Structure 1
Amino acid sequence: MTRPRGDLPFGPPAHSALNLRLALALFGFVVAGGAAVAGFLLGRVLGGFVLAAIAVVALGNAAWVQHRRRQRSRAEGGRHHSLFE
């Protein structure tokens, strides 16, 4: 018996991790945003700006991942991949 070309012997191919990426990006936004606010309140302006920049990048990443999730949903006819879609 031969396997199809490109098939791994360990089982079916892995599913997309977009839901995990979205959760981690939102977690990073909340943590970095909260730390930035704390930094500004404590008078650590440079640290506050650095953490605010990290929070903006995390929010941009979350927006991009959500865009990719919508693209995947449209391309596959609205098929859901998890409870969170």
Structure 2
Amino acid sequence: MSDRRPHGATDPVPRARSGVIGRRFPRTGTEPVTAQSPLGLRLLLSAVFLPLFVAGAAYFAVWAADSGARDTPSRGALVVFAIVCAALALLAAADLMVVLRRLRRERGTPSPSP
């Protein structure tokens, strides 16, 4: 009988070993052995907040470009807000990529080839 998995697919990796290195320290807490990380929630939050932070960065950047010398908030404060939103957007994008990679590995589906 032939294997029906797509080429390059591997067996799913359990969440207990889903880290890059795997479990480094023995279990010492009282959490259940079957405890799972909230990857679904992280996926949802990253997918929702990534476009919001990108829009916020663009909005504050445009506002800073259109502000005058005596406007409040000052141009410097608006630039800081734009930079903070851009940094949070980068963080959300990185988290989204990590979560998708972990979910793909747990489900045993092949990674897209570059």
Normalised-by-shorter TM-score class = 0.5 to 0.7
Separation (CA, whole Å) in 2 of partners of 1:23 and 1:37: 21
Equivalent in the alignment of 1:28: 56
TM-score (norm 1): 0.66
Separation (CA, whole Å) in 2 of partners of 1:38 and 1:70: 34
TM-score (norm 2): 0.50
Separation (CA, whole Å) in 2 of partners of 1:20 and 1:44: 35
Equivalent in the alignment of 1:16: 44
Give the structure with the larger helix fraction. 1
Equivalenced residue count is 65
- Quick one: percent identity of the two aligned structures? 17
Structure 1 gaps, min length 5: 1-12, 80-85
Map 1:74-85; keep pairs closer than 5 Å.
74-77=101-104
Which protein has greater RCO, CA pairs closer than 8 Å, 6+ apart? Answer: 2
Map 1:1-85; keep pairs closer than 5 Å.
16-39=44-67, 42-44=68-70, 47-77=74-104
Greater Rg, structure 1 or structure 2?
A: 2
Structure 2 gaps, min length 5: 1-39, 108-114
Q: CA RMSD in A?
A: 2.4
CA apart distance, 1:59: 0.1
Equivalent in the alignment of 1:9: none
Name segments (4+ residues, structure 1) moved above 3 Å: none
Q: Secondary structure at the match of 1:69?
A: helix
